[in-house]
Structure 1
């Protein structure tokens, strides 16, 4: 993870294929901007922001969406549905972003560009947060010092999760101070370089403090006093610690959609066969939850079943016919096969079979399946770009749910009911169905019950396409009460990523020391310590999630 700055400079120009910032040449007054010791940070920042957002949405829309049962795949499904991840989940791309980000920070300090300093600290916290959340202990203190040439920098030790979270919160505190001025007081801001907030320091400051709420709640089971004090400090000092409160302040990034690399993932524009879009289905767990709550977001996220199944005992034996847009079956044609005859929405069950494309009597099972009896994702997800196709790094919905949970813990975080309802409203607004909020909040199961379980379950729904946060919530709370499917690699959900083989081989001593600190569980089995079912510090001793 410690490479030459030459790679950083090669990556500098990646952003030009993602967002066109034609006026940057006017801002970069350095004619030799390719050199890391003189480069303008505005040239590197777009790469940091775009690559971080793309990594995050790919987690939350792909395999982690499978873990938390937002989606399932009907082909190429073993990783997504069954957690068959193997042992080579690389964090290389994460550290690539952090190296670029370190250059942004160093050059911003040298050029006294406080806005860029603050932004880079927020992104450092975000990226290191992802690394430790996903893997556990990881290189942190000496992770970005390979250029110094010392062995301990080239082969860095792994810092504890506790150390990393402490550092993350310190960076966010510093960012809050750096970003506390009006825009006019900063130098060197180029609005369209900032693909999240258009150069708005106030919104970046709110993102910093909202991320701090996320990480305080993350460590709440292990360091309750620290978490309580941190959250109460932020909530009790709104002027000093502003936070994201409405969905127009969400930290998001849209997709230009001008190439495969700048488009919404798994779109059917650059994947002309549409196979990647076609394979991703709504999970039955989420569909059934949304149906039970009469949730208006279901129609935004999924299409109705093209051809519903109808089993009719009055039909002659052997009947299997399509008529009037429905497939009619006599009971003998179904036999003991489990099917879903919902006339509107049908989700794919969790890891139910090694051949998920065969579900619901699909007439075309296999890799090229087109199952007319299971709901496809909404057609908006075929597109390369669109108003709802955004990477969402942190949102008003998440912030309000965090504060609702804090209030239910008895912390001074506002009124739990008001926070919960604000979280629901923010999510509904995000997906264009805010007008249904009053009706939805009165529905059975949605109307406020005053339980952390209900808060986390609504937060799980609201994390659609950003499902990584729901995985981390599940680990520490056990909610929603998700169960692994019969074909899953283990009969429990995983709790971390594997350390990759290259790290085990090249940085063996330090990786082994980190492995020794993992807690082997009954589900670790043949994987041993380096298992997706071995518990990192964050959940050791908590009894969660299983």
Structure 2
């Protein structure tokens, strides 16, 4: 981290959309970043946060979660779990300089002007970025991060301690936001325009996510009840149609022919022609398959699965040029209610919450409107559907296990292209009920990202030896 203090990630979105590269043609003096206005800093750290969740780490997570397939060059190597620290240098920079360092500066400015609204928003964004760091890498710098002058070699905090600190940080953020004290950031807040109610809901959903990560299902359920209440409250990364400027990250990378979804696990459960298809008399997944992926078809057999970048005036795929990218959403919140509700209160509550989500999908949900056309159906389940021999219990297992499998599978499909799918697979891997994504190489599945090589080289407190991709993070060793 101490090598990153000369890197600047704001304010240009172009910087973040060009393979998350770092450039130096910016209007902020890197030696005096505190001179930037609070609103400029807020926009910058929000853009930096987008790059974390939509950029390189999301692609790697997708390759390791049965969403994507690596075809050639570096993506083929990553697909087969050959990952080095150098692959994560920029991701690490985006977290520690692009968000955490900028948040520190912004909080200092907000404190001087007693602007608790901006401080609260900044804390939620910081928690989101730091959560991605600890979920992906395990033990990481946190308490001493973003203070290079005092801590040139920040210690790596324990993962469980970081999750506790993130809960406290989000509590502080909610308290700040509830005051409505300070000047609204307006359009400088690229997500909600300073709407504190929406930010409070997002903070509760993020708290629920972090409780889920550590398997504290009671608190996850409690926080999700206070979380995002409808699709309009979702935190999304906004995108536009300016080439190389504000496009969806996946659309920008569409020219990368080294990655697609041919043979990926997700195609097998969404394709009605597949033996593993998850549909039933109450579930039709054709619209979601077509929204996510394009393919060729001959004699009923689909092949050449590629990501859907379609960006016409009448049809937009999941990775269309101006498609917003999900960061913290109503979909996630409702599915936390379903999973945690089942684990805490049993089948009746889990089924109730799952059916609320299916009702949302049955109205079209997040699926592009032109892909529906009668090709989707998500009718409500009843308890009998999950008994042995029921339409949602193909494995003839216990009813509760069948419901949990349905919920986990729904989460897996909903989180296509997001890091969350990778998190879920690791969290549930040792349980009896799992989403059975097969290994791409051998029989062992990856458990973590590799520590950035720049950090390992420059921080004397970096782990030695550096854990490999198959070493579970502390919370997933249990």
TM-score (norm 2): 0.79
Cα deviation per residue 1:71-112 (whole Å; 9 max; x = unaligned)?
213333324421211233321221112111221122111111
Checking the alignment, whether the CA contact within 8 Å between 2:427 and 2:476 is kept in structure 1 is: yes
* Aligned counterpart, 2:274: none
**SS state of the match for residue 66, structure 2?**
coil
Instruction: Determine if contact 1:5/1:36 at 8 Å carries over to the other structure.
Output: no
Return closer, same or farther for 1:446/1:147 CA change in 2, 3 Å cut-off: farther
Q: Which runs of 5+ in 1 are unaligned?
A: 20-30, 311-341, 347-373, 516-528
2:182 aligned residue (180, 187, 191): 187
Bigger radius of gyration among the two? 1
How do residues 81-100 of structure 1 correspond to structure 2 at under 5 angstroms? Answer: 81-88=79-86, 89-90=88-89, 91-97=92-98, 98-100=100-102
Give, in angstroms, the shift of residue 377 of structure 1.
2.6
Offset at residue 418 of structure 1 (A):
2.1
Residue equivalent to 2:324: 390
User: For each residue in 1:146-165, what CA deviation from the matched residue of structure 2 results, as whole angstroms up to 9, or x when unmatched?
Assistant: 133xxxx0011110001110
User: How many Å apart are 1:415 and its aligned residue?
Assistant: 2.2
Out of 241, 247, 267, the residue aligned to residue 287 of structure 1 is 267
Q: 1:503 aligns with which of 455, 459, 462?
A: 455
Q: Displacement, 1:387?
A: 8.1
Q: Which residue of 2 aligns with 1:376?
A: 306
- Residues 72 and 259 of structure 2 are in contact (CA less than 8 Å); yes or no, is this contact kept in structure 1? yes
Q: CA deviation at 1:405?
A: 1.4
Whole-angstrom distance in 2 between the partners of 1:277 and 1:297: 23
1:52 maps to 2:52 = no
TM-aligned CA deviation for residue 173 of structure 1: 0.9
Aligned to 1:120: 122
Whether 1:111 aligns to 2:98 is: no
Distance in structure 1 (CA, Å) of the matches to 2:448 and 2:115:
37
Who is 1:483 aligned against?
438
Q: Does residue 471 in structure 1 map to residue 409 in structure 2?
A: no
**Alpha-carbon contact 1:503-1:511 (below 8 Å) kept:** no
Alignment correspondent of 2:160: 162
Question: Residue 471 of structure 2 aligns with which residue?
Answer: 534
Aligned residue for 2:444, secondary structure, equals coil
Write the deviation string for residues 263-283 of structure 1: whole angstroms up to 9, x where unpaired.
22343xx67xx6326842354
The aligned counterpart of 2:202 is: 207
Query: What CA distance in whole angstroms lies between the structure 1 residues aligned with 2:365 and 2:337?
Result: 19
Counterparts of residues 57-456 of structure 1 (less than 5 Å):
57-59=54-56, 62-76=59-73, 77-88=75-86, 89-90=88-89, 91-97=92-98, 98-148=100-150, 153-181=151-179, 185-220=180-215, 224=216, 227-228=217-218, 230-231=219-220, 233-234=222-223, 242-267=226-251, 275-276=255-256, 279-291=259-271, 292=277, 293=279, 294-295=284-285, 296-305=287-296, 308=298, 342-343=300-301, 345-346=302-303, 374-380=304-310, 386=320, 389-411=323-345, 415-426=349-360, 428-432=364-368, 439=378, 441=380, 444-445=391-392, 450=400, 451-456=403-408
* Aligned CA distance change for structure 1 residues 440 and 63 (closer, same or farther; 3 Å): farther
Asked if structure 1 preserves the Cα contact closer than 8 Å seen for 2:9 and 2:15, the reply is no
Work out the CA distance in 1 between the residues paired with 2:347 and 2:378. 26
3-state SS, counterpart of residue 451 of structure 2? coil
Aligned residues: 426
Matches of 1:173 and 1:41, distance apart in 2: 22
Are the aligned partners of 2:120 and 2:172 in contact in 1 as well (CA < 8 Å)? Answer: yes
